[in-house]
Amino acid sequence: MDISAITQYTPLFVQAFFLTVKIGWIGIALSLGIGIVCAFVMYFKIPVLTAIVRVYVELFRNTPLLVQLFFIYFGLPKLGLTISAEVCGALGLGLLGGSYMTEAIRSALEAVPASQRESALALGMGKGQLFGLITLPQAISSSVPAILANVIFLLKETSVFSAISLMDLMFTAKDLIGLYYDTTECLVLLVIFYVIMLLPVSLIGRAVEHRARFAIYGD
């Protein structure tokens, strides 16, 4: 293995790493925002909006990010809507992620046992107090494992950003391989950077899952 090649390429990879991470986390934040709003719409069964949300969720959960990105980046400009590659990446990730987050949050809300609801009502609590003091706190903690799993999934999905010419890690790797044929070195760096990006989150995810199981089952 050519160490000099590795040292030469590393700064390029670092740059790409930060770009990927930046767009990735903006997309994730967007997906959480969308997820919370849509999950609330579905949980409270708001008319009309619930149907729209359902269509949105099914559409985006059953299509790949790559197709969504191509559609937004190449297709929408034909309607007059031109978006930069970075915005497109964050938007695509946010829309895709939003559909997954909606499911995670909604099912956490609905998983709070009905008996909790009755206990709270029997104590004289109103609907607002029931939601804010009893349902929501329990839903938040039970949704964390699913949300973290989604975060890991979305971070992995950022690997398709190169398709819309974003100079992310994959783009850098492919570029350098094409130029210098130091395939092994580039692939090694590629793996290292993805590990840096994802391993911490994955370990946090496992730790949280353990704690969540402890909180429910106490063992």
Partner 1 sequence: MEALGFDVLLKGNNMLRLLQGLGVALKISLISVLISIGLGIVFGMLVSMKKPAINAVFNVYLEIVRIMPQMVLLFIVYFGTTKSLGLNLSAEAASIIVFSFWGTAEMTDLVRSAIISIPVIQYESSAALGMSRLQTQVHIIIPQTVRRLIPLSINLITRMIKTTSLVMMIGIVEVLKVGQQIIEANRKASPNAAFGIFATVFILYFIACWPISQLSKYLENKWAN
Partner 2 sequence: MEEILRVEHLHKKYDDLGVLEDVSLSVHKGEVIAIIGPSGCGKSTFLRCLNGLEDIQDGCVLLHDEVINPCDDVKKLQKSREKIGMVFQSYDLFPHKTILQNVTLAPVKVQKRAKAEVEAEAMELLTRVGLESKKDNYPRQLSGGQKQRVAIVRALIMHPEILLLDEITAALDNEMVREVLEVVLALAKEGRTMIIVTHELQFARAVADRVIFMDGGNIVEEGAPDEFFDNPRTERTRKFLDNESFTVK
In the bound complex, what is the minimum distance in angstroms from residue 160's beta carbon to partner 1? 6
Three-state DSSP state, 123: coil
Q: Which is nearer to partner 2, 132 or 178 (CB)?
A: 132
In the bound complex, what is the minimum distance in angstroms from residue 133's beta carbon to partner 2? 7
Interface segment toward partner 2; rule CB under 8 A; list 27-35, 58-66, 126-134, 178-186 = 126-134
Phi, psi dihedral angles at 48 (to 5 degrees): 65, -60
Q: Which of 75, 137, 178, 200 binds partner 2 (CB under 8 A)?
A: 137
Q: Work out what residue 125 binds among partner 1, partner 2, none; the CB cut-off runs from 5 to 8 Å by kind.
A: partner 2
Binding mask 63-102 for partner 2 (x = CB under 8 A): ----------------------------------------
Helix 49-61 and helix 3-43, axial crossing angle in degrees, nearest 10: 150
Query: Taking CA 160 as the corner, what is the angle to CA 156 and CA 166, rounded to the nearest 5 degrees?
Result: 115
Residue with tokens 């293995």: 1
d(CA 1, CA 185): 7
DSSP per position, 163-203 = GGT---HHHHHHHHHHHH--HHHHHHHHHHHHHHHHHHHHH
Q: Which is nearer to partner 2, 174 or 210 (CB)?
A: 210
Q: Which of 67, 133, 187, 203 binds partner 2 (CB under 8 A)?
A: 133
In the bound complex, what is the minimum distance in angstroms from residue 1's beta carbon to partner 1? 10
Number of H-type helices and E-type strands within the chain: 9, 0
d(CA 65, CA 46): 28
Q: Does 121 participate in binding partner 2 (rule CB under 8 A)?
A: yes
Q: Which of 5, 36, 76, 125 binds partner 2 (CB under 8 A)?
A: 125
In the bound complex, what is the minimum distance in angstroms from residue 31's beta carbon to partner 1? 17
Task: Output the six-digit token pair for 96.
Answer: 């895709």
Q: Which is nearer to partner 1, 48 or 79 (CB)?
A: 79
Q: Which is nearer to partner 1, 18 or 118 (CB)?
A: 18
Q: Work out what residue 126 binds among partner 2, partner 1, none; the CB cut-off runs from 5 to 8 Å by kind.
A: partner 2
Torsion angle, alpha carbons of 205, 210, 214, 217, to 10: 100
Q: Give the closest residue to 164 by CA, choosing from 40, 70, 27.
A: 70
Q: Which residue ranges make up the site for partner 2 (CB under 8 A)?
A: 113, 115-116, 118-127, 129, 133-134, 137-138, 141, 215-216, 218
